[in-house]
Amino acid sequence: MNESKKPDYLVLVNEDNRLPENFEDTIEIITVENAVGNTYQIEKKTYEAFMRLREELLENDGIQAELISVYRTIPDQEATFNRYVEKFGMDYARTYAALPGHSEHHTGLAIDVGVMIDGKLIRTIEGMLELDHLFKIMQSKLPKYGFILRYPKGKEAVTKIGYECWHFRYIDSPALAKEITDQGICFEEYWEKA
Ligand SMILES: [Zn+2]
């Protein structure tokens, strides 16, 4: 990491916007472990903010949130995308996995969060969608810690990604996260206005 550079916490990565060249040089990536012993790489401030969110959920709501996917390199994303295609077909893969180079997970600022239920970490798409009521509680606390729900329900036509109750994006500004959330807009729509 180059100490003189700061990451652009508002970077937009989606189907139309590829990860900027050299973005990865601007982020400080650390290695962390979740409660079930999986290790992940993640941008440092994103992790610190997640851990504060996690603590509040655990203490106030009895919800144990655990990281299930974070930073992915472009080759990682190729593997994920191909696995989805193999398992579920191209349509499903295009709905739930971005094309390599176009995943927000390349930024280190995006987190997928599963929930611990009776000692088991729920991390499948179907399992998490069934626990949407718990994710709604999580989502209500995101802005306070500088996160937004990145792929909200009802915005599929704009984000080009299906509703993902588990995918949160760190933008390093609780005030802006609150503004985006309160306006009921997705990150693409924020960028259109900006
Ligand atoms: Zn994700």
pTM of the model: 0.92
Give the tokens for residue 10. 């508002």
CA 165 – ligand 1 centroid, Å: 9
Contacts by 183-190 with C-beta closer than 8 Å and gap 24+?
A: 186/150, 186/151, 186/152, 186/155, 186/158, 186/159, 187/12, 187/148, 187/150, 187/159, 188/12, 188/14, 188/155, 188/158, 188/159, 189/155, 189/158
pLDDT value at 177 more than 50: yes
By the CB criterion, residues less than 5 angstroms from ion ligand 1 are: 112, 167
Q: What is the set of domains in the chain, with CATH numbers?
A: 23-189 (3.30.1380.10)
pLDDT digits (tens, 9 = 90+) for 123-172: 999 999 999 999 999 999 999 999 999 999 999 999 998 999 999 999 99
Q: d(Cα 25, Cα 28) in Å, to the nearest integer?
A: 8
CA 69 – ligand 1 centroid, Å: 7
pLDDT value at 1 more than 50: no
Q: What is the mean pLDDT of the chain?
A: 94
CA 2 – ligand 1 centroid, Å: 26
Beta bridge partner(s), residue 64: 116
Q: d(Cα 21, Cα 18) in Å, to the nearest integer?
A: 9
Whole-number pLDDT of residue 81: 93
> Where are the alpha helices (H) located in 19-70, listed in sequence order?
44-56
CA 70 – ligand 1 centroid, Å: 7
DSSP 18: P
Which residues are identified as catalytic?
A: 164
